[in-house]
Structure 1
Amino acid sequence: MLHGKTVLITGGGQGIGKTLVEAFAQAGARVIAADIQGPVVTSMARQLSDQGLQVTGAALDVTDEAQVAELARSLWNSKGGVDVLINNAALFSTLKMQPFHEIELDVWERVLKVNLTGPFLCAKHFAPIMCKKGGGRIINVASGAVTLGRPNYLHYIASKAGLEGMTRSMARELGPHGVTVNAVLPGSVDTGIARETVTPESKARIVAMQCIPRGQRPEDLVGIMLFLASDSSSFITGQSITVDGGATHS
């Protein structure tokens, strides 16, 4: 399905990102797992390579433009660039649920920098390479929480809403060059990462909102991601696709 394609996945060291790294590698892609925790993705890449999969780990802070630009140059020289960019790196699990007027400015700015500026910087440096190659795919991981207007996460909601808007505008700019840009909006995914302010009761309430009454897993996102990265989705761009078990109907 993706044999011969080079795929960059940010935030690839844990949760959704780690699941996508494994899935794309199993689909035949050459995967670069980028994460601010360099040793984590390096170790993971080594283990997957031992299984015969093509995975490389790369330390990357998506908010550091110099690092993003250097990775883009390195991958152009070593692999001829990338065919697919998945902007997955984000701050969420470590965020404290709180009324928006209690959010400290430095926390607000950090969330926007990672969740919105990070994808912008990655697209800024990798999209021109895709255009030079004659096409590519950019997939932004937004959030179904935007559609819900979920309270007490205003910094996160604002960042992901901005990412949806960026997706639509970027699709207009890159479409003539054969590059599609879409957003995937997951629901409440159980990534195995502890979230201090989320209780079993709040999880149960979310599941009760869904048409499919079970918790969402990272694996539930694999199908749509593989599709959007493939040639089968070449006429789909500027779209926000919700994968949340039917919690929202947008």
Structure 2
Amino acid sequence: MSFKNKIVIVTGASSGIGASAAIMFSKEGAHVVMVGRNETKLSAVAAKCSSPLVIRADVANDDDARRIINETINKFGQIDVLVNNAGMSIKNDGILGNDMMTAYDAIVNVNLRAIVHLTVLAAPYLVKTKGNIVNISSVAGIMAPFSPGMLNYCVSKAGLNHFTVCAAVELSPHGVRVNTISPGPVRTDILETVKSPLTWDSFLPLTLLNRISEPEEVADLILYIASDRAKSITGSNYVTDNGMLIKRT
């Protein structure tokens, strides 16, 4: 899968799935625009890529979102692929707690609104290149939450799934494809970030295959969907969860 001279924006590129995707796109010849908030982690990933454009930004900040697109166009003049990978969760007590709306606003701003905004900003350039968008969702957008504190995250991902379908319909006459990937548990630093008492081993019995995915596995799928090999695919949601969704339902 060659992406030679393609311009690929990857948000949340400082770690996990985003970092793996940025490295893989670079190895396939793409000019990667790496977006993230942690400058130290971004620099470490950038060292594994070939001359990436590194943008320290918060995708939920409207000025930063515009800057991401503007800096990309100023340097490269085009956009071929947008990978909306940045996402977050915040521990909260759910509907009956006193922190529900604070958590809701923060999570939805990053996991849904920021993706809608970046799509709007990037779409005119993707139309010119007949490019495509890959949104990273989660099986949490399909299944019921494990606990009340997961409600906001699940709702944000369910909204992202439907936004993908709607965007695919609207952009299809212009030759732009839009797809979603919904991973199950992936061994990233998210549990540490949200200070979860769980470990990745806690999720093993929840999957049919009794395993946790590595970021590179999801990155492989991102590259396939973004490539010309998937030119007939749009509005689809690819589940890669080791059978978690089936076992839970």
Q: TM-score of the superposition, structure 1-length normalised?
A: 0.89
- Whole-Å separation in 2 of the counterparts to 1:80 and 1:179: 18
Asked if 1 retains the 8 angstrom alpha-carbon contact of 2:9 and 2:82, the reply is yes
AA partner of residue 146 (structure 1) = G
Match of 1:3 in 2: 4
* Residue 135 (structure 2) aligned to one of 116, 135, 140: 140
Distance 1:7 1:180, change over 3 A: same
1:182-201 counterparts in 2 under 5 A? Answer: 182-193=179-190, 194=192, 195-200=194-199
Structure 1 residue 77 displacement after superposition: 2.5
Match of 2:18 in 1: 17
Q: CA RMSD in A?
A: 1.9
- Whole-Å separation in 2 of the counterparts to 1:119 and 1:172: 16
- Report the secondary structure of 1:32's partner residue: strand
Residue by residue over 1:177-219, the C-alpha shift from the partner in whole angstroms, topping out at 9 and shown as x without a partner, is: 111000100101110341423424xx44532232322122111
Match of 2:82 in 1: 85
- Whole-Å separation in 1 of the counterparts to 2:68 and 2:78: 10
Residue by residue over 1:22-48, the C-alpha shift from the partner in whole angstroms, topping out at 9 and shown as x without a partner, is: 111112211111012245424532x22
Match of 1:226 in 2: 223
1:46-65 counterparts in 2 under 5 A? Answer: 47-49=47-49, 53-65=50-62
* Residue 73 (structure 2) aligned to one of 58, 73, 76: 76
User: Gaps spanning 5+ residues in structure 2: where?
Assistant: none
Match of 1:109 in 2: 105
- Whole-Å separation in 1 of the counterparts to 2:225 and 2:179: 8
* Residue 177 (structure 1) aligned to one of 159, 174, 180: 174
Residue by residue over 1:36-75, the C-alpha shift from the partner in whole angstroms, topping out at 9 and shown as x without a partner, is: 2245424532x225xxx23221112111222222321222
- Whole-Å separation in 2 of the counterparts to 1:175 and 1:155: 30
- Whole-Å separation in 2 of the counterparts to 1:43 and 1:208: 33
- Whole-Å separation in 1 of the counterparts to 2:189 and 2:202: 18
Structure 1 residue 7 displacement after superposition: 0.6
Q: TM-score of the superposition, structure 2-length normalised?
A: 0.90
Asked if 2 retains the 8 angstrom alpha-carbon contact of 1:38 and 1:60, the reply is no
**Structure 1 outlier segments of 4+, above 6 Å:** none
AA partner of residue 148 (structure 1) = M
- Whole-Å separation in 2 of the counterparts to 1:206 and 1:148: 15
Number of residue pairs aligned between Structure 1 and Structure 2: 241
AA partner of residue 105 (structure 2) = E
Asked if 1 retains the 8 angstrom alpha-carbon contact of 2:165 and 2:236, the reply is yes
Asked if 2 retains the 8 angstrom alpha-carbon contact of 1:130 and 1:179, the reply is yes
- Whole-Å separation in 2 of the counterparts to 1:78 and 1:234: 27
- Report the secondary structure of 2:8's partner residue: strand
Structure 1 residue 156 displacement after superposition: 0.5
- Whole-Å separation in 1 of the counterparts to 2:112 and 2:187: 22
